[in-house]
Amino acid sequence: MQNRCDVIVVGAGPAGSTAARYAAEVGLDVLLVDKKREIGLPVCCGEFNASPAVLAQALPNAPGLDELFPIDPGLVRRTIRGAIAISPKGREYEFDLSGYTIDRDAFDRHLADAAVREGAVLSPDTTFLGREGRRVRTSRGDIEAGVVIAADGPLSTVCRSVGMERSAVLAPAITCRVDGEFGDRLRLFFGSSVAPGGYAWVFPKRGCANVGLGVQRPATPVPILLRAFLSHNGFAARDIQAGFVPVSGPIRETGRENVLAVGDAAGHVVASNGGGIATAMICGRLAGLAAAKHLLHGEPLEAYEREWRSAIGRELLAAARTKRMADRVLGSDFLLEGAMSLLDGRGIRNVIVFGGLQGR
Ligand SMILES: Cc1cc2nc3c(=O)[nH]c(=O)nc-3n(C[C@H](O)[C@H](O)[C@H](O)COP(=O)(O)OP(=O)(O)OC[C@H]3O[C@@H](n4cnc5c(N)ncnc54)[C@H](O)[C@@H]3O)c2cc1C
Protein backbone atom coordinates (compact mmCIF):
# COMPACT_ATOMS: atom_id res chain seq x y z
CA MET A 1 0.00 0.00 0.00
CA GLN A 2 1.17 3.57 -0.69
CA ASN A 3 2.73 5.37 2.30
CA ARG A 4 1.19 8.81 1.78
CA CYS A 5 -1.96 10.36 0.34
CA ASP A 6 -3.86 13.65 0.47
CA VAL A 7 -7.05 12.14 1.89
CA ILE A 8 -7.69 8.78 3.50
CA VAL A 9 -11.37 7.83 3.68
CA VAL A 10 -12.16 5.08 6.17
CA GLY A 11 -15.30 3.15 5.17
CA ALA A 12 -16.55 2.50 1.64
CA GLY A 13 -20.26 2.82 2.41
CA PRO A 14 -22.43 5.56 0.85
CA ALA A 15 -20.75 8.31 2.93
CA GLY A 16 -17.14 7.27 2.32
CA SER A 17 -17.40 6.40 -1.36
CA THR A 18 -19.19 9.67 -2.08
CA ALA A 19 -16.60 11.67 -0.12
CA ALA A 20 -13.80 9.86 -1.98
CA ARG A 21 -15.44 10.53 -5.34
CA TYR A 22 -15.66 14.28 -4.76
CA ALA A 23 -12.17 14.63 -3.30
CA ALA A 24 -10.66 12.60 -6.17
CA GLU A 25 -12.63 14.47 -8.82
CA VAL A 26 -10.52 17.61 -8.28
CA GLY A 27 -7.27 15.67 -8.58
CA LEU A 28 -6.44 14.84 -4.97
CA ASP A 29 -4.66 11.62 -4.14
CA VAL A 30 -7.41 9.70 -2.32
CA LEU A 31 -7.20 6.32 -0.60
CA LEU A 32 -10.54 4.65 0.25
CA VAL A 33 -10.15 1.78 2.72
CA ASP A 34 -12.70 -0.68 4.08
CA LYS A 35 -12.31 -3.62 6.38
CA LYS A 36 -14.75 -5.62 4.26
CA ARG A 37 -13.20 -8.04 1.80
CA GLU A 38 -16.08 -7.45 -0.63
CA ILE A 39 -17.54 -3.94 -0.67
CA GLY A 40 -21.22 -3.93 0.33
CA LEU A 41 -21.29 -7.44 1.82
CA PRO A 42 -22.88 -8.56 4.03
CA VAL A 43 -25.96 -6.39 3.52
CA CYS A 44 -27.41 -4.91 6.70
CA CYS A 45 -30.05 -2.45 5.44
CA GLY A 46 -33.75 -2.15 4.56
CA GLU A 47 -32.57 -1.15 1.04
CA PHE A 48 -35.16 1.60 0.51
CA ASN A 49 -34.37 5.04 -0.89
CA ALA A 50 -36.92 7.85 -1.23
CA SER A 51 -37.32 9.29 -4.74
CA PRO A 52 -35.40 12.45 -5.69
CA ALA A 53 -38.72 14.38 -5.51
CA VAL A 54 -39.35 13.28 -1.89
CA LEU A 55 -35.71 14.03 -0.99
CA ALA A 56 -36.00 17.52 -2.46
CA GLN A 57 -39.18 18.09 -0.45
CA ALA A 58 -37.77 16.63 2.79
CA LEU A 59 -34.32 18.27 2.50
CA PRO A 60 -34.99 21.50 0.58
CA ASN A 61 -31.57 23.06 1.31
CA ALA A 62 -29.48 20.01 0.45
CA PRO A 63 -27.06 20.83 -2.37
CA GLY A 64 -26.03 18.41 -5.10
CA LEU A 65 -29.20 16.27 -5.15
CA ASP A 66 -29.33 16.32 -8.95
CA GLU A 67 -25.72 15.11 -9.11
CA LEU A 68 -26.18 12.35 -6.53
CA PHE A 69 -29.71 11.25 -7.52
CA PRO A 70 -31.41 9.74 -9.42
CA ILE A 71 -29.25 6.66 -9.43
CA ASP A 72 -28.66 4.33 -12.36
CA PRO A 73 -32.07 2.72 -13.19
CA GLY A 74 -30.28 -0.65 -13.44
CA LEU A 75 -29.85 -0.56 -9.66
CA VAL A 76 -33.58 -0.26 -8.93
CA ARG A 77 -35.13 -3.52 -7.68
CA ARG A 78 -38.70 -2.23 -7.25
CA THR A 79 -40.31 1.14 -7.83
CA ILE A 80 -42.27 2.02 -4.70
CA ARG A 81 -45.55 3.93 -5.01
CA GLY A 82 -46.74 4.22 -1.42
CA ALA A 83 -46.66 2.90 2.11
CA ILE A 84 -49.04 1.35 4.62
CA ALA A 85 -48.55 1.84 8.37
CA ILE A 86 -50.18 -0.94 10.40
CA SER A 87 -51.25 -0.17 13.98
CA PRO A 88 -50.92 -2.58 16.95
CA LYS A 89 -54.56 -3.63 16.41
CA GLY A 90 -54.02 -4.14 12.68
CA ARG A 91 -55.62 -0.93 11.37
CA GLU A 92 -54.06 0.17 8.09
CA TYR A 93 -53.12 3.77 7.24
CA GLU A 94 -52.06 4.35 3.66
CA PHE A 95 -49.95 7.24 2.46
CA ASP A 96 -48.08 8.39 -0.64
CA LEU A 97 -44.39 7.69 -0.75
CA SER A 98 -42.42 7.40 -3.95
CA GLY A 99 -39.04 5.71 -3.98
CA TYR A 100 -37.29 2.50 -4.88
CA THR A 101 -35.59 -0.50 -3.36
CA ILE A 102 -32.08 -1.57 -4.27
CA ASP A 103 -29.65 -4.42 -3.73
CA ARG A 104 -27.51 -2.58 -1.21
CA ASP A 105 -24.34 -4.54 -2.07
CA ALA A 106 -24.60 -3.60 -5.75
CA PHE A 107 -25.46 -0.02 -4.77
CA ASP A 108 -22.39 0.31 -2.51
CA ARG A 109 -20.15 -1.21 -5.18
CA HIS A 110 -21.57 1.23 -7.72
CA LEU A 111 -20.68 4.19 -5.45
CA ALA A 112 -17.18 2.83 -4.78
CA ASP A 113 -16.66 2.30 -8.54
CA ALA A 114 -17.67 5.93 -9.14
CA ALA A 115 -14.94 7.03 -6.69
CA VAL A 116 -12.38 4.79 -8.43
CA ARG A 117 -13.40 6.20 -11.83
CA GLU A 118 -12.53 9.68 -10.49
CA GLY A 119 -9.08 8.40 -9.47
CA ALA A 120 -9.48 7.21 -5.86
CA VAL A 121 -7.56 4.06 -4.92
CA LEU A 122 -9.84 1.47 -3.27
CA SER A 123 -8.26 -0.83 -0.71
CA PRO A 124 -10.70 -3.49 0.61
CA ASP A 125 -9.76 -5.85 3.44
CA THR A 126 -7.96 -2.93 5.11
CA THR A 127 -8.87 -2.11 8.70
CA PHE A 128 -8.25 1.26 10.32
CA LEU A 129 -6.35 0.59 13.56
CA GLY A 130 -5.57 4.06 14.91
CA ARG A 131 -4.01 7.44 14.18
CA GLU A 132 -1.75 10.06 15.69
CA GLY A 133 -1.97 13.36 13.84
CA ARG A 134 -1.38 12.74 10.14
CA ARG A 135 -0.08 9.19 10.68
CA VAL A 136 -2.79 6.56 10.17
CA ARG A 137 -2.28 2.92 11.15
CA THR A 138 -4.06 0.27 9.08
CA SER A 139 -3.88 -3.52 8.88
CA ARG A 140 -1.87 -3.07 5.66
CA GLY A 141 0.65 -0.62 7.04
CA ASP A 142 0.98 3.02 8.07
CA ILE A 143 0.09 5.92 5.84
CA GLU A 144 0.54 9.68 6.10
CA ALA A 145 -2.64 11.61 5.20
CA GLY A 146 -3.47 15.32 5.06
CA VAL A 147 -7.15 14.75 5.88
CA VAL A 148 -8.85 11.72 7.42
CA ILE A 149 -12.54 11.16 6.66
CA ALA A 150 -14.33 9.05 9.26
CA ALA A 151 -17.02 7.22 7.28
CA ASP A 152 -16.76 4.03 9.30
CA GLY A 153 -20.34 3.71 10.45
CA PRO A 154 -22.18 4.04 13.75
CA LEU A 155 -19.43 2.50 15.90
CA SER A 156 -16.74 4.72 14.37
CA THR A 157 -13.27 3.96 15.71
CA VAL A 158 -11.88 6.90 13.73
CA CYS A 159 -14.09 9.33 15.70
CA ARG A 160 -12.98 7.67 18.92
CA SER A 161 -9.30 8.01 17.92
CA VAL A 162 -9.64 11.81 17.88
CA GLY A 163 -11.88 12.06 20.95
CA MET A 164 -15.10 12.84 19.05
CA GLU A 165 -18.26 11.43 20.56
CA ARG A 166 -20.32 8.73 18.90
CA SER A 167 -24.08 8.87 18.49
CA ALA A 168 -25.64 8.70 21.97
CA VAL A 169 -28.48 6.33 21.03
CA LEU A 170 -27.82 3.35 18.80
CA ALA A 171 -31.03 1.49 18.01
CA PRO A 172 -30.60 -2.24 17.32
CA ALA A 173 -31.98 -3.32 13.94
CA ILE A 174 -32.13 -6.60 12.04
CA THR A 175 -32.91 -7.50 8.47
CA CYS A 176 -33.32 -10.50 6.17
CA ARG A 177 -34.70 -11.52 2.79
CA VAL A 178 -37.98 -13.34 2.20
CA ASP A 179 -38.86 -14.80 -1.22
CA GLY A 180 -42.15 -13.93 -2.93
CA GLU A 181 -44.00 -11.01 -4.56
CA PHE A 182 -44.99 -8.15 -2.26
CA GLY A 183 -46.49 -5.48 -4.53
CA ASP A 184 -45.21 -1.92 -4.72
CA ARG A 185 -45.97 -0.53 -1.25
CA LEU A 186 -43.79 -0.47 1.83
CA ARG A 187 -45.48 -2.01 4.89
CA LEU A 188 -44.54 -0.70 8.35
CA PHE A 189 -45.81 -2.59 11.41
CA PHE A 190 -46.07 -0.91 14.81
CA GLY A 191 -46.70 -2.33 18.27
CA SER A 192 -44.87 -3.45 21.39
CA SER A 193 -45.08 -7.14 20.55
CA VAL A 194 -43.73 -6.59 17.01
CA ALA A 195 -41.02 -3.93 17.43
CA PRO A 196 -41.03 -2.11 20.80
CA GLY A 197 -40.13 1.56 20.28
CA GLY A 198 -39.67 1.16 16.53
CA TYR A 199 -41.27 -0.68 13.62
CA ALA A 200 -41.02 -3.82 11.54
CA TRP A 201 -40.96 -3.52 7.77
CA VAL A 202 -41.63 -5.41 4.57
CA PHE A 203 -39.97 -3.58 1.66
CA PRO A 204 -40.77 -5.20 -1.72
CA LYS A 205 -38.00 -6.03 -4.16
CA ARG A 206 -38.00 -8.14 -7.31
CA GLY A 207 -39.05 -11.70 -6.38
CA CYS A 208 -38.39 -11.06 -2.70
CA ALA A 209 -38.74 -8.51 0.07
CA ASN A 210 -36.39 -7.01 2.59
CA VAL A 211 -37.99 -7.81 5.95
CA GLY A 212 -36.68 -6.49 9.23
CA LEU A 213 -37.24 -4.43 12.33
CA GLY A 214 -35.62 -1.69 14.36
CA VAL A 215 -36.34 -1.11 18.03
CA GLN A 216 -35.41 1.11 20.92
CA ARG A 217 -33.57 -0.62 23.80
CA PRO A 218 -35.49 -3.88 23.57
CA ALA A 219 -36.16 -6.18 26.50
CA THR A 220 -36.26 -8.98 23.93
CA PRO A 221 -33.24 -9.38 21.59
CA VAL A 222 -33.93 -8.42 17.96
CA PRO A 223 -33.29 -11.94 16.52
CA ILE A 224 -36.11 -13.27 18.71
CA LEU A 225 -38.44 -10.42 17.72
CA LEU A 226 -37.63 -11.06 14.05
CA ARG A 227 -38.25 -14.79 14.40
CA ALA A 228 -41.67 -14.06 15.94
CA PHE A 229 -42.54 -11.57 13.15
CA LEU A 230 -41.47 -14.04 10.45
CA SER A 231 -43.41 -16.94 11.90
CA HIS A 232 -46.53 -14.79 12.51
CA ASN A 233 -46.50 -13.91 8.78
CA GLY A 234 -45.47 -17.38 7.56
CA PHE A 235 -42.19 -16.04 6.12
CA ALA A 236 -39.02 -18.10 5.61
CA ALA A 237 -35.92 -15.91 5.95
CA ARG A 238 -32.42 -15.94 4.50
CA ASP A 239 -29.41 -13.61 4.84
CA ILE A 240 -30.18 -12.40 8.39
CA GLN A 241 -27.94 -9.51 9.54
CA ALA A 242 -28.13 -7.24 12.58
CA GLY A 243 -26.66 -3.77 13.15
CA PHE A 244 -27.29 -0.39 14.72
CA VAL A 245 -28.99 2.81 13.61
CA PRO A 246 -27.92 6.08 15.26
CA VAL A 247 -31.22 7.76 16.21
CA SER A 248 -30.29 10.62 18.52
CA GLY A 249 -29.43 13.11 15.77
CA PRO A 250 -26.04 14.39 14.64
CA ILE A 251 -23.10 14.34 17.04
CA ARG A 252 -22.17 17.77 18.46
CA GLU A 253 -18.85 18.16 16.68
CA THR A 254 -18.05 16.55 13.30
CA GLY A 255 -14.56 17.93 12.77
CA ARG A 256 -11.51 17.88 14.98
CA GLU A 257 -7.81 18.20 14.08
CA ASN A 258 -7.62 16.82 10.50
CA VAL A 259 -10.58 14.43 10.91
CA LEU A 260 -14.09 14.93 9.44
CA ALA A 261 -16.95 12.61 10.46
CA VAL A 262 -19.69 11.77 7.99
CA GLY A 263 -22.70 9.46 7.57
CA ASP A 264 -23.62 7.14 10.45
CA ALA A 265 -20.30 8.01 12.15
CA ALA A 266 -21.62 11.57 12.51
CA GLY A 267 -25.26 10.60 13.25
CA HIS A 268 -26.39 11.82 9.79
CA VAL A 269 -29.58 9.75 9.91
CA VAL A 270 -33.24 10.81 9.71
CA ALA A 271 -34.11 9.56 13.20
CA SER A 272 -37.88 9.44 12.61
CA ASN A 273 -37.48 6.64 10.06
CA GLY A 274 -33.90 5.37 10.48
CA GLY A 275 -32.94 6.15 6.87
CA GLY A 276 -29.37 7.26 6.34
CA ILE A 277 -28.26 6.36 2.81
CA ALA A 278 -29.22 9.65 1.14
CA THR A 279 -28.03 11.84 4.03
CA ALA A 280 -24.71 9.94 4.11
CA MET A 281 -24.24 10.72 0.41
CA ILE A 282 -25.25 14.39 0.76
CA CYS A 283 -22.79 14.90 3.63
CA GLY A 284 -20.17 12.66 2.00
CA ARG A 285 -20.14 15.02 -0.98
CA LEU A 286 -19.70 18.01 1.35
CA ALA A 287 -16.88 16.28 3.28
CA GLY A 288 -15.01 15.41 0.06
CA LEU A 289 -15.38 18.97 -1.24
CA ALA A 290 -14.31 20.48 2.13
CA ALA A 291 -11.18 18.29 2.20
CA ALA A 292 -10.38 19.42 -1.34
CA LYS A 293 -10.88 23.14 -0.58
CA HIS A 294 -8.70 22.77 2.50
CA LEU A 295 -5.82 21.01 0.77
CA LEU A 296 -5.94 22.97 -2.50
CA HIS A 297 -6.90 26.46 -1.29
CA GLY A 298 -6.09 26.46 2.44
CA GLU A 299 -9.72 26.90 3.50
CA PRO A 300 -10.33 25.82 7.10
CA LEU A 301 -11.75 22.32 7.58
CA GLU A 302 -14.30 23.81 10.02
CA ALA A 303 -16.28 24.98 6.97
CA TYR A 304 -17.52 21.38 6.60
CA GLU A 305 -19.50 21.51 9.83
CA ARG A 306 -21.17 24.79 8.81
CA GLU A 307 -21.96 23.45 5.35
CA TRP A 308 -23.65 20.20 6.29
CA ARG A 309 -25.56 21.93 9.10
CA SER A 310 -26.96 24.55 6.75
CA ALA A 311 -27.75 21.83 4.19
CA ILE A 312 -29.64 19.32 6.35
CA GLY A 313 -28.96 20.18 10.03
CA ARG A 314 -32.40 21.63 10.71
CA GLU A 315 -34.16 18.57 9.30
CA LEU A 316 -31.94 16.06 11.15
CA LEU A 317 -32.46 17.87 14.46
CA ALA A 318 -36.23 18.09 13.89
CA ALA A 319 -36.43 14.37 13.08
CA ALA A 320 -34.46 13.53 16.25
CA ARG A 321 -36.80 15.74 18.30
CA THR A 322 -39.86 14.11 16.72
CA LYS A 323 -38.37 10.69 17.42
CA ARG A 324 -37.89 11.57 21.10
CA MET A 325 -41.53 12.69 21.31
CA ALA A 326 -42.72 9.61 19.45
CA ASP A 327 -40.78 7.38 21.88
CA ARG A 328 -43.30 8.31 24.59
CA VAL A 329 -46.19 7.17 22.40
CA LEU A 330 -44.36 4.13 21.04
CA GLY A 331 -43.98 2.89 24.63
CA SER A 332 -47.74 2.16 24.91
CA ASP A 333 -49.89 0.32 22.36
CA PHE A 334 -52.94 2.16 23.70
CA LEU A 335 -51.38 5.60 23.08
CA LEU A 336 -49.96 4.46 19.75
CA GLU A 337 -53.35 3.21 18.52
CA GLY A 338 -54.90 6.57 19.48
CA ALA A 339 -52.09 8.65 17.97
CA MET A 340 -52.18 6.75 14.66
CA SER A 341 -55.95 7.16 14.40
CA LEU A 342 -55.64 10.88 15.15
CA LEU A 343 -52.80 11.45 12.70
CA ASP A 344 -54.23 9.32 9.91
CA GLY A 345 -52.15 8.47 6.81
CA ARG A 346 -51.11 12.05 6.04
CA GLY A 347 -50.01 12.81 9.59
CA ILE A 348 -48.16 9.51 9.91
CA ARG A 349 -46.37 10.32 6.65
CA ASN A 350 -45.40 13.73 8.01
CA VAL A 351 -43.97 12.24 11.21
CA ILE A 352 -42.09 9.35 9.60
CA VAL A 353 -40.93 10.79 6.28
CA PHE A 354 -40.54 14.49 7.12
CA GLY A 355 -39.68 14.30 10.82
CA GLY A 356 -42.76 16.40 11.63
CA LEU A 357 -41.67 19.41 9.54
CA GLN A 358 -44.24 19.44 6.73
CA GLY A 359 -47.38 20.08 8.78
CA ARG A 360 -50.55 18.12 8.03
C1 LIG B 1 -31.04 -3.00 9.66
C2 LIG B 1 -30.87 -1.64 9.04
C3 LIG B 1 -31.76 -1.23 8.05
C4 LIG B 1 -31.60 0.03 7.44
N5 LIG B 1 -32.45 0.38 6.41
C6 LIG B 1 -32.26 1.55 5.75
C7 LIG B 1 -33.05 1.87 4.60
O8 LIG B 1 -33.92 1.10 4.16
N9 LIG B 1 -32.81 3.05 3.98
C10 LIG B 1 -31.86 3.93 4.41
O11 LIG B 1 -31.70 5.01 3.82
N12 LIG B 1 -31.07 3.63 5.48
C13 LIG B 1 -31.24 2.46 6.14
N14 LIG B 1 -30.42 2.14 7.20
C15 LIG B 1 -29.35 3.07 7.57
C16 LIG B 1 -28.22 3.01 6.55
O17 LIG B 1 -27.84 1.68 6.32
C18 LIG B 1 -27.02 3.83 7.02
O19 LIG B 1 -27.47 5.10 7.45
C20 LIG B 1 -25.98 3.99 5.90
O21 LIG B 1 -25.43 2.75 5.58
C22 LIG B 1 -24.89 4.95 6.36
O23 LIG B 1 -23.82 4.92 5.45
P24 LIG B 1 -22.31 5.09 5.95
O25 LIG B 1 -21.49 5.12 4.72
O26 LIG B 1 -22.23 6.23 6.90
O27 LIG B 1 -22.00 3.82 6.83
P28 LIG B 1 -21.94 2.28 6.44
O29 LIG B 1 -22.80 2.00 5.29
O30 LIG B 1 -22.16 1.56 7.72
O31 LIG B 1 -20.44 2.06 5.97
C32 LIG B 1 -19.38 2.07 6.89
C33 LIG B 1 -18.25 1.26 6.30
O34 LIG B 1 -17.12 1.39 7.17
C35 LIG B 1 -16.46 0.16 7.23
N36 LIG B 1 -15.66 0.14 8.47
C37 LIG B 1 -16.12 0.15 9.75
N38 LIG B 1 -15.07 0.15 10.62
C39 LIG B 1 -13.94 0.13 9.87
C40 LIG B 1 -12.56 0.11 10.18
N41 LIG B 1 -12.10 0.13 11.45
N42 LIG B 1 -11.66 0.07 9.16
C43 LIG B 1 -12.09 0.06 7.87
N44 LIG B 1 -13.39 0.08 7.52
C45 LIG B 1 -14.31 0.12 8.50
C46 LIG B 1 -17.57 -0.87 7.22
O47 LIG B 1 -17.10 -2.12 6.78
C48 LIG B 1 -18.56 -0.24 6.24
O49 LIG B 1 -18.39 -0.69 4.91
C50 LIG B 1 -30.55 0.90 7.86
C51 LIG B 1 -29.66 0.48 8.84
C52 LIG B 1 -29.80 -0.78 9.43
C53 LIG B 1 -28.83 -1.22 10.47
Are residues 100 and 49 in contact, defined by beta-carbon separation less than 8 angstroms? Answer: yes
pLDDT of residue 219: 79
Pairwise CA distance, residues 106 & 92, whole Å: 33
Evaluate whether 81 touches 344 at the Cβ level (below 8 Å): no
- Pairwise CA distance, residues 256 & 251, whole Å: 12
- 44-87 confidence digits (pLDDT tens): 999 999 999 999 999 999 999 999 997 899 999 999 999 999 99
Contact of 167 with 267, CB cutoff 8 Å: yes
The residue to mutate among 22, 245, 272, having the most atoms of ligand 1 within 8 angstroms of its beta carbon, is 245
Q: How far is the CA of 95 from the centre of ligand 1 (A)?
A: 27
Q: What is the pLDDT of residue 127?
A: 98
Nearest to 275 by CA among 73, 51, 81, 94: 51
Nearest CA to ligand 1 atom 44: 34
The CATH number for 245's domain is 3.50.50.60
Asked if residue 85 is part of any domain, the answer here is yes
* Dist. CA 112–CA 121, nearest whole Å: 10
Read off the pTM: 0.97
27, part of any domain: yes
Ligand 1 center to 245 CA (angstroms): 8
Note the pLDDT tens digit of each residue in 329-341. Answer: 888 999 999 999 9
Ligand 1 probe mutation, 38, 45, 110, most atoms within 8 A of CB? 45
DSSP secondary structure letters along 206-217: SSEEEEEEE-SS
Please report whether residue 359 resides in a domain. no
What's the total number of domains in the chain? 1
Q: What per-residue confidence (pLDDT) applies to 359?
A: 55
Domain that holds residue 257: 4-354
3-state secondary structure of 32: strand
Q: Is 11 touching ligand 1 by the criterion CB < 6 Å?
A: yes
Cβ of residue 14 lying under 6 Å from some atom of ligand 1: yes
